A and B are shown apart, each in its own frame.
Chain A
Amino acid sequence: MCPSDEGQSSINLSDPFARMIRRTFLGARRALSPRGLRFVSGGEIIEDVSERAARPHLTEQASLYVHWPYCLRRCSYCNFNKYIPREDNQHVMAACLQREAETLLQLSQVSRITSVFFGGGTPSLARPSTIGAILETISRRVTLSDKAEVTLEVNPTPAGMSKMEDYCRAGVNRFSIGVQSLQDDDLKILGRDHSSHQALQTIEEAQRLCPGRVSVDVMFGRPRQSAETWEKELSELLRVCDDHVSLYQLTLERGTQLFKLVQQGEATVPADDVMAKMYRRARRTLHQSGFLQYEVSNFARNNAVSHHNTSYWKGTQYIGVGPGAHGRFVPLGAGAVAREARTQTLEPDMWMREVRQRGHGTRRRVQLGRLELLEEVLVMGMRMTEGVNHEHWELFSPQLGLHEVFGTSTEVQELLQSGLLILDDRGLRCSWDGLALLDSLLPALLVELEAQILSRPHRDHGADGQTQKTSNPR
């Protein structure tokens, strides 16, 4: 699997956002009354309904993730949901992905899909026609603009590369290439099935097909890697890559081959301090090459950010299609009013059976309460260099601003004073140093958020507030 955590459209997000909001208001007005009716007739308030009540447009659109669960082999570091196919069941898989996409789109009642991402597994094992069929299914149901970002993760093998042109014809307009390393020895340790030469060729081909819309994934903290060799390797990569880089630290995951090797002492990964140095140097190197960091692990120049991933970090809805895919959306079609965290069945055969039986393979649905939703907005938003700005926060928390939530906490004050965190009239965000320590900052912020939310009961939680909000035609 080639993890893709990359990017979004522009560093200045306020503009597209404002446009999006304006557009969706129209749709919102259209859709409001039936939903309002359903809600009122339902009679009772199930959960927190602030999302829908305050910002109907948020439920009008979503991004869509499609998970292709198959790989040809197992990478030594990967614990992601992937399977080595026993037989060619592309047709069945393709049909099921389409079927589930249809079901979930219907369930979400979104009118528009803003971006599509094909991840995996190894989605470049899918036939271009499969990708095309899924995209067609989407656009048959909802608006999928020609301009909408459609990304596909590509394994830089000759086979993957040979299909790229056809993927583009099928509707893909962005490639994310799992380069991981330019050292052939390391690629072997990682269990990758490509060479660095093939990777460079794939980048070139992708750039030819989608200039300015090619991302490379690269991994640091590999066994035996030093900060110096890493920096050199990255510089080399930056000379040939396009405008987007996703940077990953190799994480030893339980159950992987690499984990076992390290446990047995047969491999070592760099110490924490070395990892920190690698990250710092990479940030510096990328910056010097004109790449702006817009998220913890994502860098872009010429505004070539990933729209798809940015929508995750912005807390907008997303629909996950395919085995083990995750989604976050309000299943309006089922009469729900609150956002749900949804997970699809992991195992492909099981998932396919479920999709054939009932149209989708959703295994788990958890309703997100007001606090949970805000926690996700905060955690995801803070990954971005721009952080959570006031407007963004207000979409989800109209009553309680960032200053009110975090302004009074002594601990947050200390973080502000130490220069790790910034809270100003733009919003809340990490400083350059703070971003590298995000996981240490977040618990403090979460503690404060919880305390504030729990100490102030949601004012429009009553039926009156709901009715008023939902029936307001604006």
Chain B
Amino acid sequence: MSLCALSPLLSRVCRFKVCRRRVQECSTTRCTGWRRRCPRRLPVLCCGVRSVSTQTDKENIDLSKFPADRIRNFCIIAHIDHGKSTLADRLLEMTGAIAKTEKNKQVLDKLQVERERGITVKAQTASLFYSHQGQQYLLNLIDTPGHVDFSYEVSRSLSACQGVLLIVDANQGIQAQTVANFYLAFEAQLTIIPVINKIDLKNADPDRVESQIEKVFDIPSEECIRISAKLGTNVEKVLQEVVNRIPPPVASTDDPFKALVFDSNFDHYRGVVANIAVVGGQVRKGDKITSAYLGKTYEVNELGLLRPDEHPTQKLFAGQVGYMIAGMKDVKEAQIGDTLYLQEQPVEALPGFKPAKPMVFAGMYPMDQSDYPGLRSAIERLTLNDSSVTVQRDSSLALGAGWRLGFLGLLHMEVFNQRLEQEYNASVIVTAPTVPYKAVLSSAKLIKNRRAIQKNMVYIDDQRVMMKYIFPLNEVVVDFYDLLKSMSSGYASFDYENAGYQAADLIKMDILLNGRSVEELTTIVHRGSAYTAGKAMCERLADSIPRQMFEIAVQAAIGSKIIARETIKAYRKNVLAKCYGGDITRKMKLLKRQAEGKKKMRHIGNVEVPKDAFINVLKRKDK
């Protein structure tokens, strides 16, 4: 791989960053394979070469020609599936950042999980050059995840922007995360350009959506831009409005250098790649910079624009957004929200961000303890690129050594798990998510007995209602969204945000086997649902433990009070009475298998509990 990365010729001729990125994740052989394939790809590459030639020009373009007033930093925010990434594809094509081909489908979604699920998980940055009324503008686009779990990514991205494109599906109208994302932008006091997408759809009703936007967000309907990102209809208008309506960043190249680290990635060969927004001054290759957070000093090895692939430049100026590699070996060194300044020229640190607060915790354990080292390195590597995941070592007597991971939400957890499996070929046992907190529900009809308190209800139009509830999160985390979806035949959408901790009547519940506590099954439950939860756990456990030679009491207890009980009756007979004609082979095999299984049992007192039993009780139920 290093061959490829180091070859300047190769980098110039091809859309090298794409291949570089890909190649970095695999081996040398893959790289040489790609090189051999290169000529055959020529027809495709032609377009690439054209755009690269402009890139090459621009590589030499002095970024100092883009003072702050020629810069626009903006995000695309939307409810999931409303077409953010498709619009991003068009914008990239129109500005020549990528070749215009049929194949451009969510170019910025690079992860396998993103492509499979058709969602954006990780915010991506792309710098676009755009000519408007004879002037060259540098537009920095940040494509953000739509799902609520990743709103942390959104809010981080917003901090580097002055405006947003709020995409709304012309058919579906305002959805839960449209609202959530709007408020994020609104609270950040950003300029909001509503874009009604998918007007080409048969059932598109842009008029209705405009009136929704007016009613809910108080944005005049004439400010809405109607487009079809898929067909490219009116997308040019979007770019024009970005330049016209979004204010340039307030930044001066005369100030001392000051930059915000708003994202970071980890590259195995080059270390941390920090995404930075230059708030003041300028920075050049070779500069010594200091992290306000750690006070550590680094030398800038490489910096440049993301177009969306890395595009090295000599300098970055105030108002610009780009990447920087400065010999940081640990992703923790590039603390998101950190302020960077030139050595010896300290500045007042930017407010930064609150660290991402995990909302859902789940245990992750290797299927087999021998997989532990492999899984550990997979988790380590994955968390390098997803610093919002908190990792705590944990061990369960039943499942062995593992981790307790904190996620921003359920989808986040699923995505993480999927990435572990897909990108690192790791197989894990995920225990049921836990943690009590609350949620706000919006939209659609649903009656719930989940300790929710209704806060308000707003009719968005005659077809859609928005309801807000305060929920304890643990009522929501496992299956609420799926239930909601199925009850509303898919029409309801759901979003939640942390409403802070509230006093709740929570208690510790122990699970006992013949009076001995099974520590890995101890849980925190709400007093009101303790009985149900205890009963359910006892039932699942009792179903999973095979009968033994004595009776087993499976109990749920709060303190010394037993609140639920299941009994596993003793075997009174367990002997198969036959051995036809000396055929004992089968019998021996069966017994040997049982003997092998016995070694893997967990003993709680004299009760043998198969590992499966814990998994059955702890594992999230499959949907």
Contact = CB atoms under 8 A, between A and B. Distances in A.
A276 B572 CA distance: 6
Contact of B595 (A320, A372, A446): A446
A391 interface: no
Given A375-B588, A450-B595, A273 B572 contact: yes
Interface stretch (A18-26, A94-102, A247-255): A247-255
B594 interface: yes
B591 A248 contact: no
Nearest to A325: B581
A438 interface: yes
A3 B606 CA distance: 37
A341 B585 CA distance: 8
Given A273-B569, A443-B598, A376 B584 contact: yes
A444 B548 CA distance: 12
Interface string A431-468: 00001111111111011001000000000000000000
A39 interface: no
B592 interface: yes
Interface string A1-44: 10111000000000000000000000000000000000000000
Interface residues of A, number: 53
Nearest to B587: A379
B582 A318 contact: yes
A437 B594 CA distance: 14
Contacts of A297: 577-578
Contacts of A67: 581
Nearest to B592: A446
Contacts of B591: 379, 439, 442-443, 446
A139 B376 CA distance: 69
A441 B584 CA distance: 17
A297 B580 CA distance: 12
A248 B577 contact: yes
A396 interface: no
Contacts of B595: 442-444, 446-447, 450
Contacts, number: 113
B588 A376 contact: yes
Interface in A37-89: 65, 67, 80
B581 A296 contact: no
Contacts of B578: 3, 5, 248, 251, 297
A294 interface: no
Interface string B544-565: 0001111000000000000000
Given A437-B549, A443-B594, A447-B595, A326 B577 contact: no
A225 to B, nearest CB: 15
Given A379-B591, A414-B606, A327 B582 contact: yes
A279 interface: yes
Contact of A438 (B575, B580, B582, B597): B575
Contacts of A277: 572
A446 B590 CA distance: 12
A443 B578 CA distance: 18
Given A249-B577, A273-B572, A280-B573, A326 B585 contact: yes
A325 B574 CA distance: 26
A119 B549 CA distance: 34
A227 interface: no
Interface in A195-219: none
B592 A418 contact: no
Contacts of A438: 574-575
Given A341-B585, A418-B549, A443-B595, A280 B577 contact: no
B462 interface: no
Given A65-B581, A320-B581, A320-B582, A436 B574 contact: yes
Contacts of B571: 272, 276, 437, 440
B583 interface: yes
Nearest to A1: B580
B6 interface: no
A304 interface: no
B310 to A, nearest CB: 57
A33 to B, nearest CB: 31
A5 B580 contact: yes
Contact of A80 (B576, B580, B594, B606): B580
Nearest to A2: B580
Nearest to B582: A326
B581 A119 contact: yes
Nearest to B591: A442
A325 B592 CA distance: 22
A343 interface: yes
Contacts of B40: none
A329 to B, nearest CB: 11
Contacts of A418: 549-550
A275 interface: yes
A441 B608 CA distance: 13
B117 interface: no
A383 B575 CA distance: 9
Contacts of B572: 273, 276-277, 280, 436-437
Nearest to B590: A439
A420 interface: yes
Contacts of A372: 588
A312 B579 contact: yes
Contacts of B594: 439, 442-443, 446
Query: Of residues B574, B577, B584, B587, which shows the largest number of chain A Cβ atoms within 10 Å of its Cβ?
Result: B577
B87 to A, nearest CB: 56
Interface in A232-266: 247-249, 251
Contacts of B41: none
A328 interface: yes
Contacts of A65: 581-582
Contacts of A327: 582
Contacts of A320: 581-582
A272 B573 contact: yes
Contacts of A341: 585
Contacts of A189: none
A5 B573 contact: no
B579 A439 contact: no
A67 B581 CA distance: 8
27 contacts: A1-B580, A65-B581, A65-B582, A117-B581, A119-B580, A119-B581, A247-B577, A280-B572, A280-B573, A296-B577, A297-B577, A312-B579, A327-B582, A375-B588, A376-B584, A379-B584, A379-B587, A383-B579, A437-B575, A438-B575, A439-B591, A440-B548, A440-B574, A442-B594, A446-B592, A446-B594, A447-B598
Given A251-B576, A450-B595, 10 more contacts: A67-B581, A249-B577, A276-B571, A280-B572, A325-B582, A375-B588, A375-B592, A379-B584, A437-B573, A443-B594
Closest 8 pairs (CB-CB, A-B): A297-B577, A276-B572, A276-B573, A446-B595, A443-B594, A438-B575, A443-B595, A439-B574
Interface of A: 1, 3-5, 65, 67, 80, 117, 119, 247-249, 251, 272-273, 275-277, 279-280, 296-297, 312, 318, 320, 325-328, 341, 343, 372, 375-376, 379-380, 383, 414, 418, 420, 435-444, 446-447, 450
Interface of B: 547-550, 569, 571-585, 587-588, 591-592, 594-595, 597-599, 606
